[in-house]
Amino acid sequence: MEEYTIAAIATPPGVGAISIIRVSGPDTLRVADLIFKGRNKISESDSHTIHYGKLLSQMGDTIDDVLISVFRSPNSYTGEDSVEINIHGSQYIAKLVLQELIKNGVSLAEPGEFTKRAFLNGRLDLTQAEAVADVIRSSTEVSLRGARNQLDGLLSQKVSGLRSSLVNLSSFVELELDFSEEDTQFIKRDKLAAEIDRILSEIDSLLGTYTFGRITRDGVNIAIVGQPNVGKSSLLNYILKESRAIVSHLPGTTRDVIREEVSIDGILMKLYDTAGIRHSEDEIEKEGIQRSRESVKNADIVMVIGDVQQGFSDEIFGEINYLNKSASVLKVLNKIDLEASSKISVDNRVSAKTGFGVDNLLKKMTKLALGTSSFTEKTAIISSIRHYNCLESAKINLLNAKESLEKKMSGEFISVDLRNSEQSLAEIIGVVTSEDILNNIFSKFCIGK
């Protein structure tokens, strides 16, 4: 348990009906008594009760009428004594309340510090703590569902299960080392090999969920490129159902990258309408084209737009491949309303003017982004590069163990690899962590969470 008490405004900046100030730590109830005047003393109140009263400054002036919710250790979010103070939703009042708390020895919380304490006090494991941030950030049905699954512990359970299997295996092997003179085998070598294979294949399945998890959590980056005037901005506008980007018959209308988000089938699509990629001597256009390249580099999907009059320029495909090898490239022929019988060979024919083919195109993109794998509600899914890297390292160590086993090497080698693999899994759920890992995770949180 931390020794000091922290506070933060937990609601977003701005004016609202109410704001909430969170306080957590050993001094919480004592300090609450000092600033709150109601029918009951906060320090004498039961956990999970709400109290109406006045918040007073040290001078005895009323700051606001408030409601205070009391959560006593260990049954609080952080596991510590905590209160949540509901005030009228003024930033000014919120600041006054924070000042009173600070005068009474409370510290300002760092980003994510409440959740960090919840983790350190064993209320959540690390994947669940990460999921809290994902739940807060979620903006589509799919991203929320993914975050919920992780918060509910689906990934934790899966990883913990694999980890205990590894602990079992390595304890058997280590036990043999203690009895080395007798040449005993506590686990038959073929059984050990089969178990390692089983765990390896489970790890592979988890690794295989990464693209899906990342896309459902962060959305799909889609760059829209092509020759000037082919209708890139018109297509963006059609998809957004609003006239977001300037459209004109003059080539070179779009110079900057225009980024917009839209949720399609519950998946967040981040669309980047660009100036396209071509040669230009104009300084502003050159900068725009450079920005288009950046969008292509970061894209999961690159939509190359051509139109029935100009078709496609072949160079662009080479350039895309050079900039980004892993993106899926979709060739889209626009303005099909002008020439429905166009002979240009292409899978996707659309009209940004009439909307013909656009729904199909969007369906195709969600499929492309998510890949072919189908996961059920009960599948554990990884969505962060941290999980991916830990699993990779667990896998490499297991492959080493397997190799040692095949080469009939002594149990010492096998047990070291099994232990290392187990440690990598432990890192995912936070059984072993370093301050760096924790800082990295929690610094991305909002203050007050």
Residue ranges in contact with ligand GTP by CB under 6 A:
228-234, 247-249, 251-254, 276, 334-335, 337-338, 351-353
Q: Considering the complex, state which of residue 30 and residue 291 has its C-beta at the smaller distance from Mg ion.
A: 291
Residue 420 in contact with Mg ion, rule: CB under 5 A: no
**DSSP per residue, 385-411:** HHHHHHHHHHHHHHHHHHHHHHTT--H
Identify what 229 binds: Mg ion, ligand GTP, none; CB under 5 to 8 Å per kind.
ligand GTP
How many angstroms separate the CA atoms of 295 and 37, rounded? Answer: 56
Judged by CB, which is closer to ligand GTP: 140, or 351?
Answer: 351
By CB under 5 A, residue 254 contacts Mg ion: yes
In the complex with Mg ion, which residue's Cβ is closer, 138 or 254? 254
DSSP structure class, residue 60:
S
Interface with Mg ion includes 233 (CB under 5 A)? yes
Give min distance, CB of 219 to ligand GTP, in A.
Answer: 22
Q: Which partner, Mg ion, ligand GTP, none, binds residue 276 by CB below 5 to 8 Å per kind?
A: ligand GTP
Q: Which does 271 bind (CB under 5 to 8 A by kind): Mg ion, ligand GTP, none?
A: none
> 285 or 392, CB closer to ligand GTP?
285
- Range 428-449 burial, b when 16+ CB lie within 10 A, else e: bbbeeeeeeebeebbeebbebb
348 binds, among Mg ion, ligand GTP, none (CB under 5 to 8 A by kind): none
Cis peptide before 13 (omega within 30 of 0): no
CA distances in angstroms from 293 to 51, 176, 288, listed in the order given? 57, 58, 9
Within 13 Å and on the Cβ side, how many CA atoms surround 280? 18
Instruction: Rank residues 233 and 421 by Cβ distance to Mg ion and give the closer one.
Output: 233
As measured in angstroms, the least distance from the Cβ of 276 to ligand GTP is: 5
Q: Which of 432, 443, 439, 442 is nearest to 390 (CA)?
A: 432
Identify the three-state secondary structure at position 169: helix
CB atoms within 10 A of CB 67: 15
Question: Does residue 69 interact with Mg ion by CB under 5 A?
Answer: no
> Of Mg ion, ligand GTP, none, which one does residue 231 interact with (CB within 5 to 8 Å by kind)?
ligand GTP
CB 232 within 8 A of CB 276: yes
Residue 338 contacts which entry, Mg ion, ligand GTP, none (Cβ below 5-8 A, type-dependent): ligand GTP
- Cα(253)–Cα(173) distance, rounded to whole angstroms? 69
Find, among 64, 68, 71, the residue nearest to 99 by Cα. 64
Q: Which tokens is 40 given?
A: 């009951």
Nearer to ligand GTP, 231 or 448 (CB): 231
- With respect to ligand GTP, which residue has the nearer C-beta, 16 or 251? 251
In angstroms, the CA 3 to CA 119 distance is 16
Cα–Cα distance between 177 and 184 in angstroms, integer? 9
Choose between 115 and 229: whose C-beta lies nearer to ligand GTP: 229
Cβ atoms of residues 204 and 372 within 8 Å:
no
Q: How far is the CB of 255 from ligand GTP (least distance, A)?
A: 8
Size of the site for Mg ion (CB under 5 A): 4
Q: How far is CA 192 from CA 18, 170, 197, 411, in A?
A: 59, 10, 9, 11
Query: Binding to Mg ion by residue 78, rule CB under 5 A?
Result: no
In the chain, what is the straight-line distance between the N-terminal and C-terminal CA atoms, in Å?
Answer: 17
Residue 216 tokens read as 């459902």
Shortest distance in whole angstroms from residue 91 CB to ligand GTP = 41
* Shorter beta-carbon distance to Mg ion: residue 272 or 442: 272
Shortest Cβ distance from residue 263 to Mg ion (Å)? 23
Q: Which residue has the tokens 């725009």?
A: 288
Q: How far is the CB of 272 from Mg ion (least distance, A)?
A: 12
For ligand GTP, give the closer residue by CB, 303 or 382.
Answer: 303
216 binds, among ligand GTP, Mg ion, none (CB under 5 to 8 A by kind): none
State the residue number with the nearest CB to ligand GTP: 231
Q: Is the peptide bond before 74 cis (omega within 30 degrees of 0)?
A: yes
- Helix axis angle, 126-137 to 154-178, nearest 10°: 160
Q: How far is the CB of 274 from Mg ion (least distance, A)?
A: 8
**Interacting residue ranges for Mg ion, rule: CB under 5 A:** 232-233, 253-254
